[in-house]
Structure 1
């Protein structure tokens, strides 16, 4: 009971029943379900949308009574005496199920390939065995490990085992006996699980009736991997664009400062030329007799001296300019193939 309570606290609960009973009961839409979570603030209940793939009606896949035109993977498995470590009565059924599975997935554009044919390892290691075949959907490889379920029964010690255990302290009598059953189990590896990662024969639902779910699972894992790859590609694109924008801003600021430096140099040369010119005009003014012409020249010299003083101060005290905020058009010359308005290329 304690374990059940702890599990209840860890996992969200799902509810498909009416929220309240009676004639005024509020029913949950068939496309939604209630999720309950225990948080540090208490117990939160939310109404969430059910994924579309869980609402889809799956068409059952008929399994042929015999193999007529097996897929290359199935044909390769047929050539081996016990490629999956199955008993002979069960191997034929397993191959027909695999044929149906591969036919349905290849019809959707997926590809099947052969895995290991070394047979099954000991029972305590069989789940760690490599897959017997793989189906690749949208670039995501999903491996299939085919196992034969074992029936467990209480072990009845023999007289020899009892005697050996009494004689040797290290002797351990097994608690259970295991025998191959007629049940199959498919274990899927690779990709992001959606519905499940294992399918097996059930008392009221054999594996043949679950093949449509397995085919859908392969497609879902492939689509999820494709979305993840697209998301990762977009993230890489975003980072590259941000780096290009950062470099473009730096290049724009540098170019702006270089341009201002040129202007400052031009101002300095202009001040030097004007200084010499004003000095020459001043000397000329001293040679003029008093009168209107000299007054006009002196008035012009007063204006020129004031202007020259401002120009000289500007040229003699340069400072690092602060570039204005660039527009998209300002950054285009420094971005190459990138757009200044988002992570895309021209």
Structure 2
């Protein structure tokens, strides 16, 4: 008789697990086998392959999809650090500035790399470049004096005004000390400074358009400085008069916010090629005193960039003049060659004309011999003699054959041979 363990072995190919005593557990469901089939299995004495029960398996974990930033960085690495996005759909291309900004915030860009992007003629250009060395430079702090005993001359000029830079009394002293520290630090580096204006301050939305309060010049690059006082904004509570006027007149607009001068300052720097930033402001964790070193470095970086540009412009101008001079030499050679060709073609035309006239004079001589002796024949022979002499002078083969003398070309003579260059100089 087939035991329960044998039945388990035939059905599942393994012995049943021993159940702990005291536990009332139901046996696992078994596949039903017909009694006639079981009898055949027992009588045959051989093991028959029985269908195994379907076992449930856990699905394989899905591979995490790559983010847009990861895809962008991989694409840049495969393209050598530069790609240009030019999708057929304009809406798709417009998404890339947002994606680049998200990639910069993601923290996945290596510390030694920077992500640059901008529009170009071909589309939206994205570049992964090496971080410049100046970002890793250790900047010495700029000391700010607790009080001004001997202020810088520019600071003295600012102090001479009743309300310099449109600052309130609460922040004027600190602003003077910051300016003094900044000017003193840049003066030690050899930079020049000058007073600008102290009478005005531009509106907050036009910070970079106002006249500078002072300037610092590094390697020929002038940087314009503005010292602005930040404004605190609070919700405006309409007055009864404002509400009444707005109800009576449709053009009356009640302001949403009220502004009041804060004790925070902002330094704006204009002019030259921006590197770190164009504005520095007081922050709770980092006041302007701790940011002066960056401003000093920014002035130096703009000066170095201006010097590099100046040298590059000089080299470009020198190279352009060399190209112009080479073009002028080629133009003079081409002009001389064209003059020789023109002289040769003129000789060829004169020779053909002389040859034709010589044949005609030969015919005249034959005709003159048919004339009777007398005035008519004498006149014909005189005419033939003059014509023969003229043909003799006209034929270039009767003269000295040599290279023609080339006249000194004028500017207009060289213009057709300069291929776009101006004969008066490379700067025209």
TM-score class normalised by the smaller sequence: 0.5 to 0.7
The aligned runs of 1:191-340 (5 Å cut-off) are 191-251=272-332
Q: Report the CA distance shift for 1:133/1:74 in structure 2 as closer, same or farther (over 3 A).
A: same
Match 1:8 to one of 98, 114, 118: 98
Taking the aligned partners of 1:222 and 1:139, their CA distance within structure 2 comes to: 7
**Corresponding residue for 1:133?**
214
Taking the aligned partners of 2:297 and 2:152, their CA distance within structure 1 comes to: 20
**Corresponding residue for 1:57?**
138
CA contact (8 A) 1:15 1:33 kept: no
**Corresponding residue for 1:161?**
242
Task: Please give the secondary structure, in 1, of the residue aligned with 2:186.
Answer: helix
**Corresponding residue for 1:89?**
170
> Which stretch shows the higher mean deviation, 223-232 or 6-15?
6-15
CA contact (8 A) 2:119 2:125 kept: yes
Q: Which has the higher contact order (CA 8 A, sep 6+)?
A: 1
Deviations 1:99-153 (A, max 9, x none): 0101111111111101111132555555532110010111111000111000011
Q: Report the CA distance shift for 1:174/1:42 in structure 2 as closer, same or farther (over 3 A).
A: closer
Higher strand share: 1
Q: Report the CA distance shift for 1:179/1:15 in structure 2 as closer, same or farther (over 3 A).
A: closer
TM-score, normalised relative to structure 1? 0.64
**TM-aligned CA deviation for residue 52 of structure 1:** 1.0
Structure 1 residue runs of 5 or longer lacking an equivalent are 20-27, 260-312, 321-346
**Corresponding residue for 2:158?**
77
Taking the aligned partners of 1:12 and 1:231, their CA distance within structure 2 comes to: 35
**Corresponding residue for 1:188?**
269
Taking the aligned partners of 2:152 and 2:282, their CA distance within structure 1 comes to: 23
**Corresponding residue for 2:223?**
142
Q: Report the CA distance shift for 1:36/1:158 in structure 2 as closer, same or farther (over 3 A).
A: closer
TM-score, normalised relative to structure 2? 0.53
Task: Please give the secondary structure, in 2, of the residue aligned with 1:177.
Answer: strand
Task: Please give the secondary structure, in 2, of the residue aligned with 1:146.
Answer: strand
Match 1:179 to one of 254, 260, 268: 260
Q: Report the CA distance shift for 1:231/1:37 in structure 2 as closer, same or farther (over 3 A).
A: closer
Task: Please give the secondary structure, in 1, of the residue aligned with 2:215.
Answer: strand
Deviations 1:197-223 (A, max 9, x none): 010001211011000000000111111
CA contact (8 A) 1:14 1:35 kept: no
Larger radius of gyration: 2
Match 2:181 to one of 100, 105, 125: 100
RMSD of aligned residue pairs (Cα, Å) = 3.8
Q: Report the CA distance shift for 1:227/1:12 in structure 2 as closer, same or farther (over 3 A).
A: farther
**TM-aligned CA deviation for residue 171 of structure 1:** 1.7
Taking the aligned partners of 2:329 and 2:281, their CA distance within structure 1 comes to: 59
Task: Please give the secondary structure, in 1, of the residue aligned with 2:304.
Answer: helix
Deviations 1:307-335 (A, max 9, x none): xxxxxx9x987789xxxxxxxxxxxxxxx
**TM-aligned CA deviation for residue 78 of structure 1:** 1.1
Deviations 1:269-306 (A, max 9, x none): xxxxxxxxxxxxxxxxxxxxxxxxxxxxxxxxxxxxxx
Taking the aligned partners of 2:138 and 2:335, their CA distance within structure 1 comes to: 62
Task: Please give the secondary structure, in 2, of the residue aligned with 1:95.
Answer: helix
Q: Report the CA distance shift for 1:176/1:241 in structure 2 as closer, same or farther (over 3 A).
A: same
